[in-house]
Amino acid sequence: KAGVTQTPRYLIKTRGQQVTLSCSPISGHRSVSWYQQTPGQGLQFLFEYFSETQRNKGNFPGRFSGRQFSNSRSEMNVSTLELGDSALYLCASSLGGGDTDTQYFGPGTRLTVL
């Protein structure tokens, strides 16, 4: 079974631009979560989608948004990029997103904002 895939793997943008990242979950998984990883803040939860609905949201500004499609694929968007948005963005999928479910992570998208 194929793992979680994320595209693109690397992105370079300039301040003020916007960016869209894509995540395809493991087949049959309906929950997709997004995380931001930085050296200073570690792994921080952005949001989780299940059946096209945002079920949980982390403490990030409204510039960060996401959505999920009927095939469970998910996208996240960051508008008006800031230098501090440079990070590794990780997507994780799980069967139903329940408390005991294991999340399986993709390789991440490395975003650099200049």
Partner 1 sequence: AQSVAQPEDQVNVAEGNPLTVKCTYSVSGNPYLFWYVQYPNRGLQFLLKYITGDNLVKGSYGFEAEFNKSQTSFHLKKPSALVSDSALYFCAVRVSNSGYSTLTFGKGTMLLVSP
Interface ranges with partner 1 (CB under 8 A): 4, 6, 33, 42-43, 45, 48, 50, 55-56, 58, 90, 92, 97-100, 102-108, 110
Find residue 68's DSSP bridge partners: 74
Residue 22 or 79 having the CB closest to partner 1: 22
- Judged by beta carbon, residue 35 or residue 78, the one nearer partner 1 is 35
Report, in Å, the least distance between residue 28 CB and partner 1.
16
Q: In whole angstroms, what is the distance from residue 13 CA to residue 20 CA?
A: 11
Cβ proximity to partner 1, 1 vs 99, nearer residue: 99
Q: Which residues contact 78 (CB under 8 A, 6 or more apart)?
A: 18, 19, 21, 63, 64, 65, 85, 111
Considering the complex, what minimum distance in angstroms separates the CB of residue 31 from partner 1? Answer: 8
Q: What is the largest CA-CA distance in the chain?
A: 40
DSSP 73: -
Q: What's the min distance (Å) between Cβ of 82 and partner 1?
A: 23
Closer by beta carbon to partner 1, 43 or else 80: 43
Determine the Cα–Cα distance for residues 79 and 103; give it in Å rounded to an integer. 27
